[in-house]
Structure 1
């Protein structure tokens, strides 16, 4: 029997190497399976074993073993060793650098932790407390007032008191080292995002990361490399992708209403002057302080406007458009060209509300008031992205989706489809959006309404938790986080060089050609 097991192990290892023989040396550790190759890899007798449920998700081979094991062993990422178990199951699994990857049984709760319970983190916490499939096992924040607010919410919801961390800025690492945490949501100032996400992945914790995910090109690559080296998943928590109108338009795109896609417009056009300045007492407005004299976002966010001239917050606009044109899954960003206007908005606000003699009136803001970037894709689409946050204006993300058959524009809530609309006249988008309302909103819309940001916060958290429970690749993964976040440093370089186009790195290392688009038209998450 020992000889049989030995030869069987060698045979499986040979098949695995053969499946990946065409990979580059750099990516030889990454498993990319189709359903057909997966059946070949494990053998038809194992594929059809009633005690095991094999599936292929985003190129990853997964096996859900029936009770009593109750664990999903995912064959993917860096394979240091291959083991076999014959406890009546004939199960093969991979061991990553951090050990086995497991999924929760349907009846088990996800042990969820929060790093950062400021305004954004507390919103995620409040939504998590509405669920019956999670336990809040740990929270971390260096502000004791925010800890007290979070603990009260947890207690009022009838949950057990979590372990509290926050003695210093690096106490979150002690949280990540605990066994009672399966997944973590990171909602901290931008400069902490990447390092915390990397530490979470290295600790084997399924990571949910608020936007933006990275500040520099090096950080973008660090996210991708850590994900690939550890096999731990990262989801960027971009909520706008779940906005009701965006998902309806995505449904229209998938049903070819617009025809072949050609052009997109989007951005973050939001008067943030009262976010970037406050009086040190309340989070929004009332004064012109920032940095150490302010609280909440003004304490850290405004400094980016002082020191950086680029699109520092691109994901709200770009992500929905990237999904519609399948970026990283059959398409990719190839280049970006950016330009910035002069910077007068924040200075004028300080003078108007604090006086010309206020010390902050002497601050020189580097960030242009309006920054415009044009992104080109491998499939020939263009995406115009606008960052406009320092001048008085109503809120708008400026969405436009245009194809061979017509276009939709959010501003004006209008749509035109050739052959259906009256020639050269806009239709109201209302009836179209109702007709193509997404299954998720049809199912959860009423429940989601109170979750924040018009309901989309429910959907992004739901997608994160459901993915983390199964320990599968999330809808918005590490490659997405890197590609969207790279807009920031690339726009800075382009602006410094008078709008000279900058090439986008291929964070998938060529796999965008083979990766299939994510199935967004479903009703679970």
Structure 2
């Protein structure tokens, strides 16, 4: 019996050791999957990169469909730029954008078309400083990499990358070439988002705890775009990836509020998706049984919810839903120890209210009491403002906390348009930084960190919502990096 017992314990030890080894191997494999790419930089960090001042910013465009054509129009109203060349495989939209430039009194830009590789010829030019890339998602990273390799700065539509490997490619190339690679997250330049950034920087909400971000936008109608426009290529992603397909619009501003990559960073995420029902039902209703839209197997859950944890312990909820019939929302929610701002609709609640706002609250209270008395004290007596009730009146907050950039350029941005002016303001700010030797407000590390949520959320959904590590694309520089300096 003693010998049997010793043999049993020996067997248990072997089995346990094997189990531990398997667990360690699995954990290492999981970790490695989240840090695909070069752990050692091929160049130096581009955090806070400042490039030589440009008297004139010479621009080339790749892709002038719905987004790119808008960028061309805006740049025709921004000082200090020259539009040198435009590339697109669709000759109709190409010629329309060329006509836009000429009709605004500028020299006719050169055109590149004829094949999907026509942009490569444009990149051979030495009279272009920056390239604006507004193409389908699969082209974003390859075109950014080739742009930087050609000695030019890359500015790309969202998302900048669709895989972990692509995120590292962008970072490695930017560091090796010392060129800017900015994902053009226009929502960071909305009036509301800029105001909240200003409020956060002034400590209005106390120490930050939690944020919420979303892209909730019913886009089923895009499925009817078969041969061109966004739906012609974007629809297929719903049959390819089950995760958050489009995280950056809501996440970008919240990441800036929290100083992500500049004092804090994303640590890990967990993600879950609802059933994927809406697009299959829409296809069955709107298209014939044999139509290509009814041949796709839509796997992306109608609603995806991901939770990000930061190194400092903060939490961020990020949602994506472009299928359900419901009103548009980006959430734009930030919560701190002194209160909360929430968007859609805008509202605010604080425990310790600034003196000026507090005085206005008191005046409103006194007027309400007088009106209550005048009405014979009918109904409930008015009460003082409290964090238990939302304040929806944003005018007084805008008067005190509108962002300096919006105060300077907001009226011009609204005149030129583009999602309420945020598009124009973003493009104007890019040129301003390049002409004045200042670092951009967004860099390649932001592009990678915000974009990587898509592949990592898909990994988590496929793995029963188990958490996935988010790579440190800054390679530790986030600990010394200064917070975004757009507020001064």
TM-score (norm 1): 0.77
Q: Return the alpha-carbon distance in structure 2 between the equivalents of residues 30 and 238 of structure 1.
A: 25
Pick closer, same or farther for the CA change 1:351–1:177 going to 2, 3 Å. same
What is the aligned counterpart of 2:167 among 220, 243, 248?
Answer: 220
Partner residue in 2 for 1:433:
398
Matches within 5 A, 1:412-423: 412-420=345-353, 421-423=385-387
Partner residue in 1 for 2:409:
444
Q: Answer yes or no: is 1:116 the counterpart of 2:63.
A: yes
Secondary structure of residue in 2 paired with 1:197? helix
Q: Is the CA contact (8 Å cut-off) linking 2:78 and 2:428 kept in structure 1?
A: no
What is the aligned counterpart of 1:330 among 248, 253, 263?
Answer: 263
Q: Answer yes or no: is 1:504 the counterpart of 2:437.
A: no
- Unaligned stretches of 5+ residues in structure 2: 1-37, 354-384
Q: Answer yes or no: is 1:424 the counterpart of 2:383.
A: no
* Cα deviation, residue 146, structure 1: 0.7
Matches within 5 A, 1:151-230: 151-230=98-177
The structure that is helix-richer by fraction is 2
Partner residue in 2 for 1:241:
188
Q: Deviations over 1:327-353 (max 9, x none)?
A: 001110000100001111111212222
Q: Return the alpha-carbon distance in structure 1 between the equivalents of residues 231 and 410 of structure 2.
A: 33
Pick closer, same or farther for the CA change 1:168–1:270 going to 2, 3 Å. same
How many pairs align? 418
Partner residue in 1 for 2:40:
26
Q: Return the alpha-carbon distance in structure 1 between the equivalents of residues 142 and 124 of structure 2.
A: 15
Matches within 5 A, 1:45-444: 102-104=52-54, 108-278=55-225, 290=226, 294-355=227-288, 358-420=291-353, 421-430=385-394, 431-444=396-409
* Cα deviation, residue 299, structure 1: 1.3
Q: Is the CA contact (8 Å cut-off) linking 1:337 and 1:502 kept in structure 2?
A: yes
* Cα deviation, residue 115, structure 1: 0.6
Pick closer, same or farther for the CA change 1:387–1:478 going to 2, 3 Å. same
Q: Deviations over 1:476-514 (max 9, x none)?
A: 000100001100100000000010000001000011001
RCO higher in 1 or 2 (8 Å CA, sep ≥ 6)?
Answer: 2
Q: Is the CA contact (8 Å cut-off) linking 2:216 and 2:321 kept in structure 1?
A: yes
Secondary structure of residue in 1 paired with 2:82? strand
Q: Return the alpha-carbon distance in structure 2 between the equivalents of residues 234 and 144 of structure 1.
A: 27
Secondary structure of residue in 2 paired with 1:474? coil
Pick closer, same or farther for the CA change 1:418–1:223 going to 2, 3 Å. same
Pick closer, same or farther for the CA change 1:341–1:313 going to 2, 3 Å. same
Q: Is the CA contact (8 Å cut-off) linking 1:116 and 1:186 kept in structure 2?
A: yes
Secondary structure of residue in 2 paired with 1:222? helix
Pick closer, same or farther for the CA change 1:258–1:166 going to 2, 3 Å. same
* Cα deviation, residue 357, structure 1: 5.9
Q: Return the alpha-carbon distance in structure 1 between the equivalents of residues 168 and 43 of structure 2.
A: 17
- Unaligned stretches of 5+ residues in structure 1: 1-23, 33-57, 63-73, 75-101, 279-289
